[in-house]
């Protein structure tokens, strides 16, 4: 009886805390203690975790399928907890265990208040502090025998408000601490059916790992799958709707008094009438030197064939094959209807001779029409060996010959290419470089690229942000817009409030404008934006250094951004081992960076570096690869901050030992909890461990194992949090059926900032409660 009562109290505490907590976790089981005491609580293994979501008319129905495995030597039972998404208006909740429906309930918060003070003053490990959030659903799980399994299925429905044409869905997928082993597989499948045309589809958390399939303007499928993984972040999906030809949506983040960060999603319609596609000129420039002989030349010819087969009716084209000399399909641009004859000509090409890159590019540019958009697709597997061979001279010659209407897209085949030349050409002419590594298929990469850029709808684009000052924008320069693609623009801003954003561009020589409404926040917002912006800026700076030589201000910026945002590339990985927080630490890092030998322009390391920098320049999300291999144990991202483990202390990258004297806060002391009560959002930093040094509101706080020094607790104001706004006309889900659980949003009194990062105290309470209850039950 005591065991049951204690579990109920624990579950109740969790839900009380969930009402003010921002962290997410998927469903997990709190296991009752084993018959023989062991030093740590037991977690079951989650075999798989599958999620199917249908979003129709802003109503999201989420279906979850999980299997838990008892790998212990004893029978276990426990309590299943599923934290609900923040701000979700959950109207329907049903649950099954091994196919049988069971009763689940959303627990009230006030039942646990009698034990509140006792729990918060216990000194316990805060490791779970980041995992519990919002309202939670609880259900008892019957005994699971050794080696046995329990399959749990859930279904709930929630309304997704639309804010300025943007819809956001979050699924709690963070399971790293709640499974004894990696999951065999995890998958998330989303079907979107919208009454309004869908424009952008973007996952701030998994963009590089999701597949997106569009079915016209009103339907889309998004999927994510991984195997043998411990997911450590939630799955977030943003999509935008707009009746306009080009959709535009603004996301921002600002932490006063610094300038803010913004992200602009720009997405033209998926389907474009043939009469509205911009006609353009296309040059296919192919290296047919002797080194291309064999499989490479055959794949390259297949790639050109694909492009020629997919020309738009209004396009014109020519093909230029080069080695020691030149062979051109025609003396001038030809209409698209001749593509079939050009394919036959391409298939007869052979590989022999040297490599005169300069002459081939100048021939293409000489035929270009300055009045029409022009695309040059340039494929080579080597370096210039004949004619003009100086890289700077080739870049100067092409720069002088090309008009502003030219977009040049180099493809480097193999590892013997000169990356400085290829990236320099792309940089000069508003293109991008692709590298086809040994073992990769040339035709697959070229055809995938051309499928994305085959239908231009707006060129020479620019933005005007009204009274808000915007700068440090990436990508730079801005690319053209193509049907079915999207542009993700990041930058900094100064100013705040509602603004009219004007997108300008050229359509068949005529200027067009699209005007949108947006709001630049005065504070708060989407925390992922600063790190994404930093990744793009670091990639851009590293490329500038590689192409144009080192400048101290560029190197300083790379070091500062890498440390501040925890983006450690293979070329700045030495930062992990540097004592960056000692006086002069960053200056020493700059000196070490500049003393390193210049990277080679060709060869496998050069291509790898060029690819890594290119990935950063156009990154859509920041993933573990950008943190650098082996950094997870010594570096952590928490919100917008980065922490490094130094002398067993998790140290904020913003900490400056030369100018800051930390305020000592004893872990678990009254001052510790007073600080959490005044600033609950700081709890996510304190969750890192019992020794943490972080900077907030201009003050450095050091959590120590021992007594506190004098701690001035910042004043706390009170505000009311009522959940996310709903637009007028937002649909409501179907009424609750018998036996299902009804949940309603609750107004909670909160301290400043809790709307963004609420519940630090709540998460701490769970951490303490879990261990206290564990100890008291046996």
How far from chain centre, in Å, is Cα 240?
Answer: 17
What is the spatial distance between Cα 189 and Cα 210, in angstroms, rounded to a whole number?
A: 10
CA angle (111, 113, 116) in 5-degree steps: 135
Half-sphere exposure of 151 (CA within 13 A, CB side): 7
Task: Give the predicted TM-score (pTM) of the model.
Answer: 0.77
**Residue for token pair 């690319």:** 479
Q: If you search the block for the tokens 């983040």, which residue do you land on?
A: 253
Q: What is the DSSP string of 238-271?
A: EEEE-SSSEEEEEEEEE-TTS-EEEEEEEEE-SS
CA–CA separation, 28 and 42 (whole Å): 12
Q: What is the dihedral of CA 729, 734, 735, 739, to 10 degrees?
A: -150
DSSP state of 316: E
Measure the N-to-C terminal CA separation of the chain; round to a whole number of Å.
Answer: 13
Rounded-to-integer distance, Cα 599 and Cα 596, Å: 9
Contact 566, 635 (CB under 8 A): yes
Say if CB 350 and CB 300 are below 8 A apart.
no
Any alpha helices (H) in 459-551, and if so which ranges?
Answer: 528-548
Q: Which of 371, 375, 391 is nearest to 383 (CA)?
A: 391
- 535 vs 419, 551, 563, 644, 716, CA distance in Å? 21, 19, 11, 18, 35
Which residues fall within 8 angstroms of residue 225, CB to CB, at 6 or more apart? Answer: 185, 186, 187, 188
Nearest Cα to Cα of residue 175 among 54, 93, 64: 64
Name which of 86, 85, 79, 73 is nearest 6 in CA terms. Answer: 79
Phi then psi for residue 563, to 5 deg, are: -75, -45
Q: Are 238 and 207 in contact, with CB atoms under 8 Å apart?
A: no
Q: Which residues pair with 180 in a beta bridge?
A: none
- Ranges of H-type helices in 1-127: 2-18, 116-120
Give the whole-angstrom CA distance, residue 505 versus residue 323: 38
Phi, psi of 513 (to 5 degrees): -130, 145
Q: What is the pLDDT of residue 774?
A: 34
Q: Is the peptide bond before 770 cis (omega within 30 degrees of 0)?
A: no
**C-alpha dihedral sign at 71, 74, 77, 78:** negative
Under a CB-based contact definition with an 8 Å cutoff, are residues 17 and 132 in contact?
A: yes
Residue 119 burial (10 A CB sphere; 0-12, 13-18, 19+):
buried
Residues of the chain by 3-state class (helix, strand, coil), percent to 5: 30, 35, 40
DSSP per-residue letters across 131-194: T-BSSEEEEEEEEE-TT-EEEEEEEEEEE--EETTEEEEEE----TTT-SS-EEEEEEEEEEE-
In the block, tokens 């239908």 appear at 455
Pseudo-torsion of CA 204, 652, 175, 12, nearest 10°? Answer: -110
In 3D space, the residue among 55, 532, 564 whose CA is nearest the CA of residue 251 turns out to be 532
Question: In whole angstroms, what is the distance from residue 51 CA to residue 59 CA?
Answer: 16
Q: Are strands 374-380 and 281-287 parallel, antiparallel or unpaired?
A: parallel
Q: Residue 24: what pLDDT? A: 34
Residue 692 tokens read as 């943490």
Q: Do 359 and 322 meet the contact criterion of CB atoms below 8 Å apart?
A: yes
Report the distance separating Cα 644 and Cα 649, nearest Å: 8
What stretch of H or E contains 588? helix 585-595
DSSP state of 662: P
CB atoms within 10 A of CB 738: 4
Spatial CB neighbours of 744, under 8 Å, sequence gap ≥ 6: 89
Q: Which of 760, 635, 631 is nearest to 685 (CA)?
A: 760
- Report the alpha-carbon distance of residue 409 to residue 443 in Å, rounded: 15
The confidence score (pLDDT) of residue 598 equals 72
pLDDT 10s digits, 346-397: 999 999 999 999 999 999 999 999 989 999 999 999 899 999 999 999 999 9
Cβ proximity of 501 and 518 under 8 Å: yes
CA–CA–CA angle 169, 679, 692 (5° rounding): 95
Do 518 and 498 contact (CB within 8 A), yes or no? yes
* Segment holding 677, helix H or strand E: helix 670-678
State whether residue 200 is helix, strand or coil.
Answer: strand
Q: From edge to edge, which strands make up the β-sheet containing 219-229?
A: 100-101, 90-97, 149-159, 59-69, 45-56, 183-193, 219-229, 210-215
Q: pLDDT digits over 459-495, tens only?
A: 889 999 999 999 999 998 899 888 888 899 999 999 9
In whole angstroms, give the CA distance from residue 129 to residue 21.
10
Q: In terms of C-beta density within 10 A (0-12 exposed, 13-18 middle, 19 or more buried), how is residue 294 classed? A: exposed
pLDDT at 735: 38
The string of DSSP letters for 62-88 reads EEEEEEEE--SSS-EEEEEEEEPPTT-
Q: Give the CA count within 13 Å in the CB-facing half-sphere of 639.
A: 27
Tokens matching residue 297: 């030349």
Please list the ranges in the chain whose pLDDT falls under 50: 1-25, 107-134, 718-778
């Amino acid at each position: 009886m005591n065991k049951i009562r204690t579990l109920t109290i624990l579950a109740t505490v969790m839900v009380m805390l969930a009402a003010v907590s921002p962290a997410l976790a998927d469903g997990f089981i709190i296991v009752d203690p084993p018959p023989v005491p062991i030093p740590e609580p037991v977690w079951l293994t989650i075999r798989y975790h599958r999620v199917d979501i249908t979003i129709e008319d802003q109503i999201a129905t989420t279906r979850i399928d999980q299997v838990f495995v008892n790998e212990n030597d004893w029978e276990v039972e426990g309590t299943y907890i599923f934290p609900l998404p923040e701000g979700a208006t959950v109207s329907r909740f049903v649950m099954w265990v091994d196919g049988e429906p069971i009763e689940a309930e959303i627990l009230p918060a006030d039942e646990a208040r009698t034990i509140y003070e006792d729990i918060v003053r216990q000194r316990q490990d805060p490791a779970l502090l980041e995992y519990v959030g919002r309202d939670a659903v609880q259900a008892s799980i019957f005994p699971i025998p050794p080696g046995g399994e329990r399959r749990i299925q859930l279904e709930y429905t929630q309304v997704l408000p639309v804010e300025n044409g943007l819809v956001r869905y979050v699924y709690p997928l963070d399971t790293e601490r709640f499974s004894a082993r990696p999951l065999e597989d995890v998958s998330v499948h989303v079907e979107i059916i919208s009454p309004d045309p869908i424009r952008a589809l973007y996952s701030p958390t998994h963009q590089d790992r999701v597949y997106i399939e569009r079915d016209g303007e009103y339907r889309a499928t998004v999927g994510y799958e991984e195997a043998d993984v411990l997911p450590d972040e939630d799955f977030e999906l943003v999509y935008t709707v707009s009746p306009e030809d080009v959709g535009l949506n603004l996301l921002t983040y600002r932490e006063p008094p610094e300038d803010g960060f913004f992200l602009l999603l720009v997405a033209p319609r998926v389907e474009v009438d043939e009469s509205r596609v911009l006609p353009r000129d296309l040059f296919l420039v192919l290296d047919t030197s002797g080194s291309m002989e064999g499989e490479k030349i055959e794949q390259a010819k297949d790639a050109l064939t694909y492009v020629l087969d997919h020309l738009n009716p209004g396009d014109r084209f020519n093909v230029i094959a080069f080695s020691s000399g030149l062979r051109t399909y025609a003396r001038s641009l030809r209409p698209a209807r001749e593509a079939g004859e050009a394919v036959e000509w391409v298939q007869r090409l052979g590989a022999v001779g040297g490599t005169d890159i300069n002459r081939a590019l100048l021939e293409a540019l000489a035929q270009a029409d300055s009045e029409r958009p022009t695309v040059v697709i340039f494929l080579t597997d080597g370096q210039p060996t004949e004619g003009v061979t100086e890289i700077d001279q080739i870049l100067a010659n092409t720069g002088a010959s090309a008009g502003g209407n030219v977009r040049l897209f180099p493809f480097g085949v193999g590892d013997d290419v000169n990356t400085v030349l290829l990236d320099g050409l792309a940089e000069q002419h508003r293109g991008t470089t692709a590298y086809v590594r040994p073992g990769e298929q040339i035709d697959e990469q070229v055809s995938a690229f051309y499928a994305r850029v085959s239908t231009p709808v707006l060129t020479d684009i620019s933005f005007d942000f009204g009274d808000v000052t915007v700068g440090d924008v990436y990508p730079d320069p801005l690319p053209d817009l193509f049907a079915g693609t999207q542009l993700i623009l990041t930058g900094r801003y100064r100013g705040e409030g509602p603004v009219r954003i004007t997108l300008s561009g050229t359509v068949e020589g005529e200027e067009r404008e699209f005007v949108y409404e947006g709001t630049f926040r005065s504070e708060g917002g989407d925390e992922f934006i600063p790190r994404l912006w930093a990744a793009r800026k670091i990639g851009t700076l590293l490329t500038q250094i590689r192409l144009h030589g080192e400048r101290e201000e560029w190197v300083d910026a790379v070091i500062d951004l890498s440390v501040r945002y925890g983006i450690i590339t293979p070329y700045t990985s030495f930062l992990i081992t540097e004592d960056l927080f000692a006086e002069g630490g960053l200056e020493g890092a700059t000196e070490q960076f500049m003393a390193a030998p210049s990277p080679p322009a060709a060869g496998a390391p050069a291509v790898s570096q060029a690819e890594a920098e290119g990935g950063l320049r156009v990154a859509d999300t920041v993933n573990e690869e950008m943190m650098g291999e082996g950094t997870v144990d010594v570096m952590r991202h928490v919100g917008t901050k980065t922490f490094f483990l130094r002398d067993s202390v998790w140290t904020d990258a913003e900490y400056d030992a030369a100018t800051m004297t930390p305020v000592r806060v004893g872990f678990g002391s009254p001052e510790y909890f007073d600080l959490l009560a005044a600033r609950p959002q700081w709890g996510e930093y304190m969750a890192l461990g019992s020794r943490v040094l972080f900077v907030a509101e201009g003050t450095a706080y050091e959590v120590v194992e021992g007594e506190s020094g004098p701690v001035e607790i910042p004043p706390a104001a009170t505000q009311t949090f009522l959940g996310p706004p709903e637009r007028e006309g937002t649909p409501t889900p179907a009424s609750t059926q018998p036996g299902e659980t009804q949940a309603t949003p609750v107004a909670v009194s909160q301290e400043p900032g809790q709307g963004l990062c609420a519940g630090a105290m709540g998460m701490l309470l769970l951490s303490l409660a879990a261990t206290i209850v564990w100890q008291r039950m046996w």
